[in-house]
Amino acid sequence: MSVPTQGAATVAVQAGGSSLARIVGLVALAVLLVAPYALYPVFLMKVLCFALFACAFNLLIGFGGLLSFGHAAFFGSAAYVTAHTVKVWGLSPELGILLGTVAAAGMGVLFGSIAIRRQGIYFSMITLALSQMVYFLALQLPFTHGEDGIQAVPRGVLLGVIDLNQPFAMYYFVLVVFLFGYAVIWRTVHSPFGQVLKAIRENEPRAISLGYRTDRYKLMAFTLSAALAGMAGGTKAIVFQLATLTDVQWQMSGEVVLMTLLGGMGTLSGPVVGAALVVALENYLAATNLPVPVVIGAIFVACVLLFRRGIAGEILARFGGGGR
């Protein structure tokens, strides 16, 4: 098969062609490692959870061209599953997050196989409607405890050794989870699979005519994206010891869209930048009298009208020499 070698060649070109990108990446990693000494760890962990969530979402829209407006369903459901299994079943945190991820992946297969039957705007509306169904289920099912949510989830002991009640231990665990998710996405985007996904985004009929079963690729991308969103949600439940209806609401789906749009759709680093900005902005707004939804909505409008490439996209377009 010629496809894998072709893909590998592209990876080599992209990796070798940008030593600048590698330096930026190493600096970013160093910053993340020392960050908890300078900033409030809970804030940083929130940023990392949402960054992973946004990266997972971006895998679909940025590389597959599929705008899901219902990703909160995966994020929130995984948070519920993790919180429930850790609190009620007494599982360890890593197992709880794993189960949350698996649950989100299962939902991803189910929702994906329904949603990919339509394209474009319809796809967005279908994912939104399905996630609203999940919201109503979360409101009514007994184990989610309705309006109260699942509170006081124990952070527990990681692998039976590391006590996650210590803020620094918790932070580095979240960092590892984030880096793992990011690496999976990086690997996916730079794999032959990722190339096919981009081909589908650019011209689906042509990809079909080349013999690719595009529906299968889309479903795989959808499932992977849902699973990673679930991993972010499960981790969030451990960090904040909480899983509530906020996590499954449509506003949450909108928020992750905004993070990705603001940071730059289709760039690997964009969603991370976007997530950090949105979380920081919300923290700041919470202390002021300004209405948060109005500001968020205004940023949405500004992004769509003024800089559709997002922050990272604009920087790459100006200095990166060649964009994506």
Residue 132 binds another protein, judged by CB under 8 A: yes
Rounded to whole angstroms, how far apart are CA atoms 150 and 245? 10
Q: How many CB atoms lie within 10 A of CB 180?
A: 13
**Sign of the CA dihedral 2, 4, 7, 13?**
negative
Q: How far is the CB of 295 from another protein (least distance, A)?
A: 8
Q: Which of 85, 65, 33, 118 is nearest to 230 (CA)?
A: 85
Question: Of 182 and 217, which CB lies nearer to another protein in the complex structure?
Answer: 217
Question: Of 87 and 218, which CB lies nearer to another protein in the complex structure?
Answer: 218
Residue 107 binds another protein, judged by CB under 8 A: no
Residue 28 binds another protein, judged by CB under 8 A: no
Rounded to whole angstroms, how far apart are CA atoms 178 and 51? 8
Q: How far is the CB of 199 from another protein (least distance, A)?
A: 17
Window contacting another protein (CB under 8 A); options: 32-40, 47-55, 116-124, 220-228: 116-124
Among residues 162, 285, 299, 317, the one that binds another protein under rule CB under 8 A:
299
Q: How far is the CB of 105 from another protein (least distance, A)?
A: 18
Q: How far is the CB of 7 from another protein (least distance, A)?
A: 26
Among residues 2, 140, 209, 288, the one that binds another protein under rule CB under 8 A:
140
Residue 152 binds another protein, judged by CB under 8 A: no
The DSSP line for 64-89 is H----S-THHHHHHHHHHHHHHHHTS
Q: How far is the CB of 257 from another protein (least distance, A)?
A: 7
Residue 130 binds another protein, judged by CB under 8 A: yes
Among residues 11, 42, 109, 125, the one that binds another protein under rule CB under 8 A:
125
243 SS3 class: strand
Residue 133 binds another protein, judged by CB under 8 A: yes
Q: How far is the CB of 163 from another protein (least distance, A)?
A: 40
Among residues 128, 224, 238, 279, the one that binds another protein under rule CB under 8 A:
128
Among residues 294, 318, 321, 323, the one that binds another protein under rule CB under 8 A:
294
Question: Of 17 and 291, which CB lies nearer to another protein in the complex structure?
Answer: 291
Q: How many CB atoms lie within 10 A of CB 286?
A: 9
Rounded to whole angstroms, how far apart are CA atoms 14 and 21? 10
Q: Which residues contact 244 (CB under 8 A, 6 or more apart)?
A: 148, 149, 150
Rounded to whole angstroms, how far apart are CA atoms 299 and 277? 11
Residue 39 binds another protein, judged by CB under 8 A: no
Among residues 124, 144, 267, 269, the one that binds another protein under rule CB under 8 A:
124
- Restricted to residues 239-258, the positions that interact with another protein (CB under 8 A) are 250, 254, 257
Among residues 261, 273, 312, 316, the one that binds another protein under rule CB under 8 A:
261
Q: Which residues contact 309 (CB under 8 A, 6 or more apart)?
A: 264, 265, 316, 317
Among residues 22, 187, 206, 308, the one that binds another protein under rule CB under 8 A:
308
3-state SS of 149-217 is CECCCCCCEECCCEECCCHHHHHHHHHHHHHHHHHHHHHHHCCHHHHHHHHHHHCHHHHHHCCCCHHHH
Q: How far is CA 279 from the centre of its chain?
A: 14
Torsion, Cα of 96, 98, 99, 102 (10° steps): 160
* Residues forming the site for another protein (CB under 8 A): 67, 69, 114-115, 117-118, 120-122, 124-126, 128-130, 132-133, 136-137, 139-140, 250, 254, 257, 261, 291-294, 296-301, 303-305, 308
